[in-house]
């Protein structure tokens, strides 16, 4: 069975193989479904769906831009998908492209001569992120009303590019990021703080580029895709306020953990441009890919492969170990017939760090499900980060079946103790059930798949 989504890079069955999947009767169908989800949100294809150019006529989502009146066209690409997004956009613009800047997590083996390509830090901003922020502002500060800036924005941009307000050092922003990651704050809450502390975020890039025309093509890594939260919304109106920032700090009891420079900055009350600001009369923001698209593609492929399909929605958030329990409750509620079943849930969970182990939110969700899956015959759970990298690891997630607990105990692994130490990577690694497809070049949050197979 062939599905309708072409994989931009090699995301074949071998890339998604694990010990459990390699032995499973449905291994080809399963890996094809996973590949289809990622392929549907391949950044280059997403750009080509929305951006068209013919002679002097540039169209973005049916809006026309007359390039005959534009003196210079620049591209600024920010995020994990910056390289393929910029390559596609440059090919579309062709000789009318003046130049641009690409800021990414992984430098490409071959750099595009049309761009300056820089590497930023992720998930914690580093000196490279600061240098990237300075380079980006240098590019846009030179723009005039006769110029066009094409922004290509994807997940990871908040850390890859930073340029905080005066008085806030890089070490302060690094500490902020580490504190937010450790306390279990949601990504939208993290980005609410970042927008009020950084010159680029919270429409800061659009403000700096004014009076140029700005168009942004945005690939979402945020639940429900609010534009202000994706890469902290460098070109999007920001509805959040300083009061909301202070509430987040109170909610997680962070006041005593944050550098005084950050508290001082917030007390100054720097506000971001809000919806309705005249600044946005010359700005167009368009969402080009999301978690919903990835899960829909997976379900389409599953249906064509003979599965009954059920969507569990794309707004799953909260502690990974708690979400695992809720998803398995949904699994147990299903009526099982003669056809295989595929349930798909999307979103982005969080992990409150309690131990010193190694892993990521998808691996932790999978580990929390191990004892819950032990008695569930012919079920399989797969937790997958669509960017191919879960937390600070080379794994994208893990695979769990009713056999996982028995296999673990046979080699002396106790899932509860590994969960207590946030050490999911070192639990699944000896079992051979970590998913390691490598960086996919895209990022639209996470997907959890639950399969049931009529094997008996």
Q: What is the pLDDT of residues 387-437, one digit of tens each?
A: 999 989 999 999 999 999 999 999 999 999 999 999 999 999 999 999 999
Q: What is the pLDDT of residues 139-161, one digit of tens each?
A: 999 999 999 999 999 999 999 99
Q: What is the pLDDT of residues 171-207, one digit of tens each?
A: 999 999 899 988 988 888 988 999 999 999 999 999 9
Q: By percentage, how much of the chain surpasses pLDDT 90?
A: 86
Is residue 1 pLDDT above 60, yes or no? no
More confident: 62 or 275: 275
Strand order in the sheet with 213-219: 115-119, 99-104, 72-78, 147-153, 213-219, 283-289
Least confident of 5-14, 86-95, 297-306, 336-345: 5-14
Bond from prior residue into 123 cis (ω within 30 degrees of 0): yes
- The mean per-residue pLDDT over the stretch 41-45 comes to 95
pLDDT given for residue 35 in this prediction:
95
At residue 145, what are phi and psi to the nearest 5 degrees?
-70, -10
What mean pLDDT value characterizes the chain?
Answer: 93
Bond from prior residue into 211 cis (ω within 30 degrees of 0): yes
Contact between 390 and 396 under an 8 Å Cβ cutoff? The reply is: yes
| C-alpha span between 192 and 305 (Å, rounded) | 41
Q: Which domains does the chain show, CATH number per domain?
A: 13-41+291-452 (3.40.1480.10), 43-289 (3.40.50.10180)
Is residue 14 pLDDT above 50, yes or no? no
The whole-model pTM stands at 0.84
pLDDT given for residue 456 in this prediction:
64
**Could you tell me the pLDDT band of residue 362, with boundaries at 50, 70 and 90?**
very high
- The mean per-residue pLDDT over the stretch 237-257 comes to 95
**Could you tell me the pLDDT band of residue 2, with boundaries at 50, 70 and 90?**
very low
**Could you tell me the pLDDT band of residue 10, with boundaries at 50, 70 and 90?**
very low
Task: Report which of 103, 127, 99 is spatially closest to residue 113, judged by C-alpha positions.
Answer: 99
Bridge partners of residue 101, in order along the sequence: 76, 116
């Amino acid at each position: 069975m062939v599905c309708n989504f072409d994989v931009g890079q090699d995301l074949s069955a071998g890339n998604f193989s694990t010990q459990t999947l390699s032995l499973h009767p449905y291994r080809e169908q399963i890996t094809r479904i996973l590949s289809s989800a990622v392929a549907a949100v391949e950044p280059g294809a997403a750009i080509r769906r929305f951006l068209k150019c013919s002679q002097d006529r540039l169209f973005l989502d049916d809006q026309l831009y007359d390039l005959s009146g534009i003196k210079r066209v620049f591209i600024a690409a920010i995020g994990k998908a910056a390289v393929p997004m910029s390559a596609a956009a440059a090919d579309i613009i062709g000789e009318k492209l003046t130049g641009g800047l690409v800021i990414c997590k992984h430098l490409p083996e071959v750099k595009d001569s049309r761009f300056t390509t820089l590497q930023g830090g992720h998930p914690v901003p580093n000196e490279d992120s600061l240098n990237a922020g300075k380079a980006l502002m240098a590019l846009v500060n030179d723009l005039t009303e006769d110029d066009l800036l094409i922004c290509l924005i994807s997940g990871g941009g908040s850390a890859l590019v930073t340029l905080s307000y005066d008085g806030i050092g890089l070490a302060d922003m690094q500490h902020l990021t580490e504190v937010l990651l450790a306390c279990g704050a949601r990504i939208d809450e993290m980005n609410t703080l970042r927008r009020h502390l950084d010159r680029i975020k919270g429409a800061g890039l659009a403000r700096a580029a004014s009076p140029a025309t700005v168009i942004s093509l945005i690939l979402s890594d945020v639940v429900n895709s609010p534009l202000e939260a994706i890469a902290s919304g460098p070109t999007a109106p920001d509805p959040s306020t300083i009061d909301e920032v202070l509430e987040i700090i109170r909610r997680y009891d962070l006041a005593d953990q944050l550098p005084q420079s950050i508290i001082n900055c917030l007390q100054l009350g720097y506000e971001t441009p809000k919806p309705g600001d005249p600044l946005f009369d010359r700005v167009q923001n368009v969402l080009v890919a999301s978690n919903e698209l990835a899960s829909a593609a997976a379900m389409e492929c599953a249906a064509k492969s003979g599965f009954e399909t059920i969507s569990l929605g794309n707004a799953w958030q909260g502690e990974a170990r708690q979400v695992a329990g809720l998803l398995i409750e949904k699994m147990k509620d299903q009526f099982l017939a003669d056809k295989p079943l595929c349930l798909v849930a999307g979103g982005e969970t969080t992990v409150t760090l309690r131990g010193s182990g190694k892993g990521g939110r998808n691996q932790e969700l999978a580990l929390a499900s191990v004892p819950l899956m032990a008695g569930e015959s012919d079920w399989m759970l797969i937790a997958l980060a669509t960017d191919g990298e879960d937390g600070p690891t080379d794994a994208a997630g893990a695979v769990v079946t009713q056999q996982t607990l028995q296999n673990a105990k046979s080699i002396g692994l106790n899932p509860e103790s590994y969960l207590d130490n946030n050490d999911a990577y070192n639990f699944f690694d000896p079992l051979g059930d970590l998913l390691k497809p490598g960086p996919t070049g895209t990022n639209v949050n996470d997907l959890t798949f639950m399969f049931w197979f009529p094997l008996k």
